[in-house]
C-alpha cells in the first residue's frame, strides 16, 4: 500500500487523548490505511497504530518534521494530534499523483500555511528536509523558542525554493481538509457537510452543534481514549521508568518539566502536575506559553474555571509581543480558551464589563501584553 497516515502526539495528557481520538477516527473512517504513530513520550502509544516511532525529546514542532522524514510511507498524510476525520481523505492523498507536496492555507489567514494537515511523496521530502535543517540551525536562538515550521514552509514556498528543488506544490482546500471550528458558525449546513477534517483541541461542541450525526462516533472515540489512558495507568513500572529516562536525559529543559507533569497527571495527581507546570514557567521564561496553556487546560478539566482563565491569560501575555507564527498560535489557543471559559458560566465576575473585555480579546488579534495584563490584574483582584 502506497498511502499512509502519520500522527505526531506530544504534550499533555489532553493532547494524548486527542491523538487517540484522532487515531480512532482514522481507523473508523479509513480502516485499510496504514497508520504510523510518533511521539517523544515513550508511554504514549496506540494499539490502533501499525507502526510506532520514538522521537527524540525536542520541541514538538521540530519533532513534527523529524517524524515526517522518518515515516516510510511512499505517500504520507501528516495530521496533527488534535485533528479528527469526519470523512475519508483519499482525495487529499490522491493529489500526490500530480503533485509532490500538498498543504492548506490557514482558513483565518490567507498568507500563512497551516502545517497541521499536509501530504507529501518521496520527492516532496526534500522540502521537509530543508525545513528541518533551518529549524535545527535555529534551535538555540532565543527568539525562535516557539519554533516556526509553518513560517519556514510558507517562506520556502513563496520564495520559489520548491521550483529550485523540483517540487510541485498544490494548495488544499482548508475549509474541507483543515478546518478550525471557530469559523463553523459562519458556514451553512451544506458547507459543513463538505468538511472532511476538523482541526481543534476540543471537538465536543463543534461536533454536537454542526455534525450531530457524528456524535455517536465521537462518544466511541472518547471512550476508546479513556480506556487506553486507564490501561496506561496500570502499567506503572514500565511507563514510570520511561518518563524518568526522558527527565534524566533532558535536565532543566521544558521537555523534562512536561514529562514530569505528564507523570503526575497519569498518576491522577493533577495538583502536583499544576505545581510542576508553574515551576516550569518560573524556571524557563524563554519557553513562552507552553506550560501555562497546559496549566489552563488542566485547571479547566479540574473544574477550576477561575484559575484556568487566569492561566490562559498568563499564556496569552507571555506570547503577545513575540511575532512568530507558532508562538502566535499559542496565543490564539490561549485567548480562545479564555473566551470559552468566559462563556461557560463558571467564572465569578464583579460586573459584566470584565467579561465583555475578555470576549473582545478573541476578536482583536493585535491585542498587546499590556492590554491583557490589565484585564488579568483586575480578574485577580475581583475574582
Cβ-proximal residues to 165 (8 Å cutoff; 6+ apart), any chain: 126, 127, 130
Candidate CATH numbers 3.30.565.10, 2.130.10.10, 3.40.50.720, 3.90.550.10; the one for domain 3-227? 3.90.550.10
Residue-by-residue pLDDT tens, the chain, 383 positions? 579 999 999 877 788 899 999 999 999 999 999 999 998 777 788 999 999 988 776 555 567 888 888 888 999 999 999 999 999 999 999 999 999 999 988 766 666 788 889 999 999 998 888 887 887 666 544 333 444 677 788 778 877 778 888 899 998 888 899 888 878 888 888 888 899 999 876 777 778 778 888 889 889 999 999 898 887 776 655 666 766 776 677 666 777 777 778 777 776 677 888 888 888 877 776 565 778 888 888 888 788 888 888 888 888 888 776 554 445 567 777 888 888 888 888 888 877 788 888 877 766 656 778 888 888 888 876 54
What's the pLDDT score for residue 382? 52
Query: What is the 3-class SS of the chain, one letter each residue?
Result: CCEEEEEECCCCHHHHHHHHHHHHHHHHHCCCCEEEEEECCCCCCCCCCCEEEECCCCCHHHHHHHHHHHCCCCEEEEEECCEEECCCCHHHHHHHHCCCEEEEEECCEEEEEEEEEEEECCCCHHHHHHHHHHHHHHCCCHHHCCCCHHHHHHHHHHCCHHHHHCCCEEEECHHHHCECHHHHHHCCHHHHCCCCEEECCCCHHHHHHHCHHHHHHHHHHHHHHHHHHHHHHHCHHHHHHHHHHHHHHCCCCHHHHHHHHHHHHHCCCHHHHHHHHHHHHHHCCCCCCHHHHHHHHHHHHCCCHHHHHHHHHHHHHHHCCCCCHHHHHHHHHHHHHHHHHHCCCCCCCCCHHHHHHHHHHCCCCCCCHHHHHHHHHHHHHHC
What's the pLDDT score for residue 238? 64
What's the pLDDT score for residue 183? 81
What's the pLDDT score for residue 25? 96
| Alpha-carbon radius of gyration of the chain | 20
Closest CA to 282 of 246, 307, 257, 308: 257
The domains of the chain are located at 3-227, 236-377
What's the pLDDT score for residue 142? 36
What's the pLDDT score for residue 148? 64
Q: Record the cell numbers describing residue 114, joined without a space.
A: 497551516
* 289 neighbors 338 (Cβ within 8 angstroms): no
Q: Is 236-377 CATH 1.10.3430?
A: no
* 107 neighbors 179 (Cβ within 8 angstroms): yes
What's the pLDDT score for residue 6? 96
Amino acid at each position: 500500500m502506497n498511502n499512509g497516515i502519520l500522527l505526531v502526539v506530544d504534550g499533555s495528557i489532553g493532547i494524548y487523548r486527542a491523538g487517540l481520538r484522532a487515531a480512532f477516527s482514522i481507523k473508523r473512517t479509513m480502516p485499510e490505511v496504514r497508520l504510523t504513530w510518533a511521539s517523544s513520550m515513550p508511554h504514549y502509544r496506540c494499539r490502533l497504530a501499525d507502526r510506532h516511532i520514538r522521537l527524540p525529546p525536542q520541541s514538538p514542532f521540530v519533532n513534527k518534521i523529524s517524524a515526517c522524514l522518518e515515516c516510510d510511507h511512499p505517500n504520507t498524510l501528516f495530521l496533527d494530534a488534535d485533528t479528527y476525520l469526519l470523512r475519508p481523505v483519499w482525495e487529499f492523498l490522491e493529489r500526490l499523483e500530480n503533485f509532490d507536496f500538498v498543504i492548506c492555507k490557514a482558513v483565518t489567514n490567507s498568507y500563512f500555511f497551516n502545517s497541521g494537515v499536509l501530504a507529501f511523496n518521496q520527492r516532496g521530502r526534500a522540502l521537509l528536509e530543508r525545513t528541518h535543517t533551518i529549524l535545527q540551525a535555529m534551535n538555540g536562538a532565543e527568539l525562535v523558542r516557539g519554533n516556526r515550521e509553518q513560517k519556514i514552509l510558507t517562506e520556502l514556498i513563496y520564495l520559489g525554493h520548491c521550483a529550485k528543488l523540483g517540487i510541485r506544490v498544490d494548495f488544499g482546500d482548508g475549509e474541507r481538509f483543515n478546518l478550525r471550528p471557530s469559523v463553523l458558525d459562519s458556514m451553512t449546513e451544506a458547507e459543513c457537510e463538505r468538511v472532511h477534517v476538523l482541526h481543534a483541541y476540543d471537538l465536543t461542541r463543534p461536533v454536537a452543534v454542526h455534525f450531530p450525526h457524528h456524535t455517536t462516533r465521537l462518544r466511541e472515540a472518547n471512550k476508546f481514549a479513556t480506556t487506553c489512558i486507564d490501561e496506561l495507568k496500570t502499567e506503572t513500572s514500565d511507563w514510570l521508568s520511561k518518563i524518568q529516562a526522558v527527565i534524566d536525559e533532558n535536565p532543566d529543559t521544558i521537555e523534562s518539566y512536561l514529562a514530569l507533569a505528564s507523570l503526575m497527571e497519569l498518576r491522577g495527581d493533577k495538583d502536583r502536575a499544576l505545581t510542576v507546570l508553574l515551576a516550569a514557567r518560573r524556571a524557563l521564561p524563554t519557553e513562552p506559553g507552553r506550560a501555562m496553556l497546559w496549566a489552563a487546560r488542566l485547571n479547566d478539566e479540574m473544574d477550576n474555571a477561575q484559575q484556568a482563565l487566569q492561566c490562559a491569560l498568563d499564556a496569552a501575555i507571555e506570547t503577545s509581543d513575540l511575532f512568530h507564527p507558532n508562538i502566535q498560535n499559542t496565543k490564539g489557543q490561549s485567548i480562545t480558551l479564555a473566551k470559552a471559559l468566559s462563556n461557560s458560566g463558571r467564572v465569578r465576575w464583579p460586573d459584566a464589563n470584565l467579561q465583555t473585555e475578555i470576549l473582545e480579546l478573541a476578536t482583536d488579534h493585535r491585542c498587546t501584553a499590556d492590554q491583557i495584563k490589565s484585564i488579568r490584574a483586575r480578574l485577580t483582584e475581583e475574582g
